[in-house]
Structure 1
């Protein structure tokens, strides 16, 4: 495990799960900490202030890092949070940026509710192996082109070029298969305003973007698994874009 992946993991498990804020500050974060999470103030002091209150409200915290990968200084973690014996449950998709020493200096996330009733596929769980490490850059390019051609330029006849008919779907609002994904996007007039960041490792690629879906602006983090040049599995988290007047930091991006 690299230093940045170890530090991101410890920030979650030792910090948010176990409440060891000083340990996080001293060992896992860099000198500064730029925050983009909704409602969390900037810098180390903001992190501490938010989570001290979070710990009081949520004394019982079960946190599972379901999967993670890294791409240069960036780390992605996909997390299930179960609070107060299931009183609240969340799926969190996080991107961390590290400094040259592997310490965490910036954080983005999109948090979505873990549903009470699960459809055919769980929104986060499922066996996924990290493969095709030699195809990382190629797979990132495929995802970028999917966003440009289909979700920005609305070339819907190109959809099948990028997405498998047998797509495994984890979004609880969408049926299985590529055609159902396409239908959902069309019916909700979905489009990508801009793609902020694409990171990946091997067959797993994450795209963090601002999208227009069903007459609403969202920050959306989507995880794709690729195989033989096509998207074969899809997870996503989305949050309504907060108003500027409500921001406690630099915003989602």
Structure 2
């Protein structure tokens, strides 16, 4: 594990799971800590103002880092959380780091967990191993083109250029496996008079067979912050996870916003 990955995991596990927030901040963050998590203000004091009461309210915390990738100065974590033994959450977290590998900025989205897809998959299940490191840039470009063509361009008839027709495992609740499951989801939105428009991709990072995007999405008129996690094999997308959260108002954000 690299220092950057270790620092990101440490802030989560040492600071939040183990309840040592102040100690973790001193150990893992840099000279500044710019925050994009809803309700959390910038800086160490903003973090503590939010999480110290959170830790008191939730004395039982089970937190697992399911996936982790590193792309240069950026680290991404896909996390499953259970609070009080019953409240399940899924979190996608992106961290920027400084030249000393310490965390200086953070973006996240949080969604209700414990859900399954029509094909029976969980929101965090599936492959976790990072491989194909030599294909990182190729895979990042493939995902960028997929979002530009299909999600932003609406050319759903071209989905097979980007997504495997043999095996496409879907972890987004409400969406079944396969290209047909994806097409049925899009058709269902259209039948309800709804739309899903990716207005902007704010961040795109990848390592080997995993690529992650943070996008601003208009989902049936509701602005959403969406992390999409893609796994690729042989140049095609074969697995997908999503963590989406409504974009808060400036007052709710308590910082400079989700992006």
- What band does the TM-score fall into relative to the shorter chain? over 0.9
Alpha-carbon offset, residue 155 of structure 1: 1.9
1:135-154 paired onto structure 2 within 5 Å = 135-154=135-154
Q: Where does residue 101 of structure 1 map in the other structure?
A: 100
Distance in 1 between residues matched to 2:128 and 2:251, nearest whole Å: 40
Cα distance, 1:175–1:118 mapped onto 2, change above 3 Å:
closer
Is residue 184 of structure 1 aligned with residue 185 of structure 2? yes
Aligned-partner Cα distance in 2 for 1:214–1:174: 16
Q: Distance in 2 between matches of 1:238 and 1:163?
A: 21
Q: How does 1:200-211 map to 2 (within 5 A)?
A: 200-211=206-217
Partner of 1:199: 205
Separation of aligned partners in 2, 1:118 and 1:169: 7
Which stretch of the first structure deviates more once superposed, 17-26 or 182-191? 182-191
Q: CA deviation at 1:117?
A: 5.9
Instruction: Provide TM-score, normalisation by structure 1.
Output: 0.96
Moved over 4 A (4+): 116-119
Instruction: State the distance in 2 between where 1:238 and 1:49 align.
Output: 24
- Cα distance in 1, alignment partners of residues 127 and 96 from structure 2: 26
Instruction: Specify every segment of 5 or more residues in structure 1 that has no aligned partner in the other structure, as ranges.
Output: none
Q: Which position in structure 2 is the counterpart of 1:53?
A: 53
Q: CA RMSD in A?
A: 1.4
Moved more, 23-32 or 50-59: 23-32
Structure 1 residues 127, 85: CA separation in 2 closer, same or farther (over 3 Å shift)?
Answer: same
Measured at CA, do residues 249 and 207 of structure 1 come closer, stay the same or move farther in structure 2, by a change above 3 Å? same
Q: Identify the residue that residue 256 of structure 2 maps to in structure 1.
A: 250
Contact 2:74 2:96 survives alignment (8 Å): yes
1:33-44 to 2 correspondence within 5 Å?
Answer: 33-44=33-44
Identify if the C-alpha distance between structure 1 residues 118 and 183 changes in structure 2 by more than 3 Å, giving closer, same or farther. closer
Which residue does 1:75 correspond to in 2? 75
* Contact 2:117–2:172 (8 Å) recurs in 1: no
1:213 paired to 2:219: yes
Matches within 5 A, 1:10-29: 10-29=10-29
Deviation at 1:215, TM superposition (A): 2.9
CA separation in 2, counterparts of 1:194 and 1:9? 28
Please state whether the residue corresponding to 2:85 is helix, strand or coil. Answer: coil
CA distance 1:236–1:64, change in 2 (3 Å): same
Q: Give structure 2 stretches of 5+ with no counterpart.
A: 190-194
- Alpha-carbon offset, residue 186 of structure 1: 4.2
Deviation at 1:101, TM superposition (A): 0.3
**What are the equivalent positions in structure 2 for 1:213-232 lying under 5 Å apart?**
213-232=219-238
State the distance in 1 between where 2:45 and 2:128 align: 36
Query: Aligned with 1:107: secondary structure?
Result: strand
- Provide Cα deviations, 1:173-195, integer angstroms capped at 9, x if missing partner: 11111221133134332220000
Q: 1:235 offset after TM fit, Å?
A: 0.3
